[in-house]
Amino acid sequence: MSPEQARGEGHRLDGRSDLFSLGVVMYEMLTDSRPFRGGSLRETLSQVISAAPRSLREFRSRIPSELERICLKALAKRAVDRFGDLQEFGDELQRWLDSSAAGEKCESGSVAVAAVIPRGLHCFTEDDAAAFVQLLPGPRNRDGVPDSVAFWVRRLSGLDTGPRLSVGVIYGPSGCGKSSLVRAGIVPRLPAGLDVVFVEASAGETERRLEVALRRCVPGLPQGEDAAGLLGLIRQRRLCRLVLVIDQLEQWLSGSQANADSLLVRALRQCDGDQLRALLLVRDDFALGTARLMSALEIPMRQGENTAVVDLFDEEHAERVLEQFGRAWGRLPREGGLQPEQLQFLRMAVEQVSESGRVVCVRLVVLGELLRQREWRPETLVELGGAEGAGVAYLDSVFEGAGANPALRLQSVAARQVLRAMLPADQLVIRGAAKSREVLRAASGLAEGDAAFDRLLSVLDRDLRLVTPTEVFVPEGESESSAGVRGERFQLTHDFLVPAIHTWLTRRQRETQRGRTELLLSERAGTWSLRPTSGNLPSLREWIWIRCLVPAKQWSRDERRVMAAAGRFHLRRWGVSGLAVLLVWGSWSWNQRRLSQQSLLQRMVAEVDALRDVRGTELTRAVAELTDGRYPEALLRERLIGESGSESEAGRRLPLALASAAMGVDETEFLAGQVLNPLLPDSSVLVAALRDRREQALERIQQRMSRPGGGVGLSERARLALLAMQLGDSSWSESMCRTAVADPIERVSWIREVSQWGGFGRGEGELGLGGSSDLNAALMLALKSAIGVRMTRESAERLRGRVQMLARSGDAGEHAAAVRLLEAWRRTEGEESVDLRSDVALVREANWRVVDGLTLVRVPSDLSGGERAEGSVWIC
């Protein structure tokens, strides 16, 4: 009796039910035992419906494995997994007999089986092709290839006699192994001559990735074409036969519209089932979006023709897979049967990760990875804490373990906030509602546009499979914006992650003050929502801690309500007292501030009044102290302007004007006329005051220097020229010092004023030797006169190198002034005389030379001409 008969489904009976009965007879003939046994008819029928028969080779090891396969396929529980009819059954037996007669039969027990190498959460690849098929459920063909693999191999290679496959769809739950099925099961078994292009879909890069993969696979494709254009060229020119595999299509569906104008749709429409074929891998909860995509391609989805489901494992097959993992890791014997304790362990482990009789592959892998270094005994599962404990241990390993992703370590706080935002409210054990990218970004605390958030989502989705994008349902004919939906949405991948993540986050929270405060808020919100009394509200101290440590944007709805209620309660209770204290404190603070401001203003007025009487070298220090920022800038400026404007005596107004200039007031006209003021120790004070208004100051100086009638005396004229030079304009100084045309009295006056009033070494308008020869000579004469009076040794040292160079100048005046200055320095400092001898080439061209310590100057015979001639004479 077939399973469908045992269930009383007489309307579903056909020839395949008889094949099941024939398989039972064949089983008994080969093993001398019935495949299903029970103590009663009910138990026997129950085994027929749900229990898998024991392996024939367990009864007789000499039974060929191919014959065992044929028998077990006839005994498949689902009618679609059995032979299609008696003819197919007979053909399989005949092929086995023919191969046995030809000597192809393997010795019993000698069939080579590739060892399974677990890959963790990573996909199996072509390197695992031989071993991977052992992990797949369902019937197999005579080559040991599961029907789920053989179907797609036939369809993609064009070996089927049915309609040509242009675009196929493989869909199934998240974590069911779709990617591994294609990479390790289907692709390695495709015939030679078929090129395979893999593309991982993403929200905005799918088409670009497809274009790059096509150019890599088919060199020489023209530039300027998009993916659709490239596929069209490959198809029309028959450049090669391609199979496009687009994995994780849900990534594209979550961020794009499947309409006829989209680039991916136009690219897939180039698939003709001959030169080009495509295989789309997508999660089953994106069925609506996939249907819309296929509709845009004008390809109906037909199960068993261009569409196939990859389902979750049943518990029995999950035990077999976990057993193979255990053998690969050395936790179970490499060969032979298992001990009762080990069988119990497998059964308990699968039951803990099973939901409604089905097991998510990823969940089974996570459990296996956590147990690979432990003893496989039932006690181990108890110590681990069951499935929830395994999930917590897994989260510890991926976030904090030795092999944790470095990017995840750096963003561990943001990752926890994202996972917390995805947990359901009210402690439910099912996934929470999908959250938009913007909501998750805000929860993470990362800035908008920060690439770190995109990398974090990529790791949580693609690497760890903890979160996954969800399909946004938009009614036909509406856009996302009109439907009120914006951007991608994400949620936790599996329901089994909810309690594990909650426990893991709670444990982590208790390690920090902020985490404990978050738990306190959650506890108070839960208690108050059940019984909203004042006794269940956070105390004032707790309320303050929560407000300080837990950002309000992270509060849930219940937490917002309890915090608002607590705030109102404490406001009513402490509001009056707090208001009184606040008023007293405010009054005292205002009075203290008023007294402090009055005292400050009094000190400012006193300093401004005292500034009038400051003289000499103390002037600069007094101005700097007054304008150092202690007093309000606006009040000080107003006071200085008023006092400066009311002061008629220039000697008392000068300090006020200098302070006003330091505060940004324009005192250029007054200060430019104070060069002869005896209160100024040197020019550095004026230079410091006028440097911020350099252009205006130079304009005032020019006006005074150009005053008609010679109204400016020699001393004032020299000082104005010096001040202009220190502000950046040396033209007046150049004019006064030019020996060929200048008035000697003017030049001498300039040198005298520079030596007495130049402010050498003061730091403001430092005089350098970068002008003309005449100006340099005059400056060095002034420097010589200033030695020991206003010039410090440090300032002189800064000029020593330049003066030594000028001592070898070809200009007689410049040379003589430099020699005199160096000799003066030598006498002052007690140093040896500077060696002024030049090399031959320089002396030959110069108008001077040193002979036996005497400096000789060449004078042309024609004193008025100044040209060198053979009749030139040398004088000492």
Residue intervals of the chain classified under CATH 3.40.50.300 are 126-311
End-to-end CA distance of the chain: 140
Eight-class DSSP state of 140 = B
Q: Tell me the whole-structure pTM to 2 decimals.
A: 0.53
Six token digits for residue 195: 């090129």
User: Looking at the domain covering 126-311, what would its CATH class be?
Assistant: alpha beta
Distance CA 713, CA 723 (A): 15
Chain-centroid distance of CA 37 in Å reads 63
State the chain's mean pLDDT as an integer. Answer: 79
| Contact status, residue 31 vs residue 59, Cβ threshold 8 Å | yes
Q: In what order do the strands lie in the sheet with 467-470?
A: 435-436, 489-492, 467-470
Six token digits for residue 867: 């040209």
| Res 228: pLDDT | 93
Beta bridge partners of 140: 146
pLDDT tens-digit map of 588-633:
888 878 877 778 787 877 877 777 777 766 777 777 777 777 777 7
| Contact status, residue 850 vs residue 809, Cβ threshold 8 Å | no
Distance CA 365, CA 391 (A): 11
| Res 449: pLDDT | 74
| Contact status, residue 176 vs residue 316, Cβ threshold 8 Å | no
pLDDT tens-digit map of 167-213:
999 999 887 889 899 999 999 999 988 999 999 888 778 899 999 99
pLDDT, greater one: 710 or 378: 378
Using pLDDT thresholds of 50, 70 and 90, give the confidence band for residue 876: low
Distance CA 594, CA 118 (A): 78
Eight-class DSSP state of 423 = S
Question: b vs e for 432-453, b when ≥16 Cβ sit within 10 Å of the residue's Cβ?
Answer: eebbebebbbbbbbbeeeeeeb
> Which residues, 6 or more positions from 418, have their beta carbon under 8 angstroms from its beta carbon?
440, 443, 444, 456, 457, 460, 467
Most confident of 220-224, 585-589, 607-611: 220-224
Using pLDDT thresholds of 50, 70 and 90, give the confidence band for residue 360: confident
Distance CA 201, CA 53 (A): 42
Residue 323 has pLDDT above 70, yes or no: yes
Segment 698-720 shows an average pLDDT of 76
Using CA atoms of 810, 812, 817, 819 in order, give the dihedral in degrees to the nearest 10: 60
| Res 195: pLDDT | 93
Phi, psi of 769 (to 5 degrees): -115, 65
Gyration radius (Cα) of the chain, Å: 48
> Which residues, 6 or more positions from 298, have their beta carbon under 8 angstroms from its beta carbon?
269
* Helix, strand, coil percentages for the chain (3-state, nearest 5): 55, 5, 35
Using CA atoms of 268, 271, 276, 281 in order, give the dihedral in degrees to the nearest 10: 50
Six token digits for residue 309: 């489901």
Six token digits for residue 688: 């410091």
* Nearest CA-CA partner of 312 in 176, 109, 125: 176
pLDDT tens-digit map of 836-867:
433 333 444 456 555 444 556 666 655 544 44
* Nearest CA-CA partner of 285 in 492, 101, 565: 492
Distance CA 622, CA 615 (A): 10
* Nearest CA-CA partner of 330 in 372, 369, 368, 367: 372
pLDDT, greater one: 267 or 567: 267
**Percentage of the chain exceeding pLDDT 70:** 83
Distance CA 514, CA 549 (A): 6
Q: Is 275 exposed, middle or buried (0-12, 13-18, 19+ CB in 10 A)?
A: middle
Angle at CA 525, nearest 5°, toward 521 and 531?
A: 145
Eight-class DSSP state of 35 = S
Q: Is 667 helix (H, G, I), strand (E, B) or coil?
A: coil
| Res 856: pLDDT | 61
| Contact status, residue 243 vs residue 197, Cβ threshold 8 Å | yes
Judged by average pLDDT, the poorest of 105-109, 367-371, 497-501, 733-737 is 105-109
| Res 100: pLDDT | 78
Segment 701-717 shows an average pLDDT of 74
Segment 52-76 shows an average pLDDT of 88
| Res 853: pLDDT | 46
Distance CA 375, CA 392 (A): 19
Q: Is 742 helix (H, G, I), strand (E, B) or coil?
A: coil
| Res 278: pLDDT | 96
Q: Give the Å distances, CA to CA, from 521 to 168, 333, 561.
A: 51, 51, 11
Residue 338 has pLDDT above 70, yes or no: yes
Residue 654 has pLDDT above 80, yes or no: no
Taking every pair of Cα atoms in the chain, the longest distance, rounded to a whole number of angstroms, is 147
pLDDT tens-digit map of 10-46:
888 888 999 999 999 999 999 999 999 888 988 999 9
pLDDT tens-digit map of 301-322:
999 899 999 988 888 888 989 9
Angle at CA 605, nearest 5°, toward 601 and 610?
A: 145
Helices 86-101 and 65-74, axial angle in degrees (round to 10): 180
Q: Is 167 exposed, middle or buried (0-12, 13-18, 19+ CB in 10 A)?
A: buried
The count of C-alpha atoms lying within 13 angstroms of the C-alpha of 603, restricted to the half-sphere facing its C-beta, is 12
Beta bridge partners of 303: 307
pLDDT tens-digit map of 247-257:
989 888 877 77
Distance CA 160, CA 156 (A): 9
Eight-class DSSP state of 535 = G
Chain-centroid distance of CA 697 in Å reads 53
Say yes or no: domain 402-475+485-508 is CATH 3.30.70.
no
Residue 110 has pLDDT above 50, yes or no: no
| Contact status, residue 717 vs residue 703, Cβ threshold 8 Å | no
Chain-centroid distance of CA 341 in Å reads 49
Q: In what order do the strands lie in the sheet with 313-314?
A: 313-314, 358-359, 354-355
| Res 712: pLDDT | 72
| Dihedral angle sign, alpha carbons of residues 26, 32, 36, 42 | positive
Using pLDDT thresholds of 50, 70 and 90, give the confidence band for residue 752: confident
Place of tokens 């206003």: 790
Say yes or no: domain 3-101 is CATH 1.10.510.10.
yes
Place of tokens 């005074």: 704
Residue 518 has pLDDT above 50, yes or no: yes
Residue 335 has pLDDT above 70, yes or no: yes
| Res 234: pLDDT | 92
pLDDT tens-digit map of 764-816:
445 667 778 878 888 888 877 766 544 555 655 666 777 777 777 777 777 88
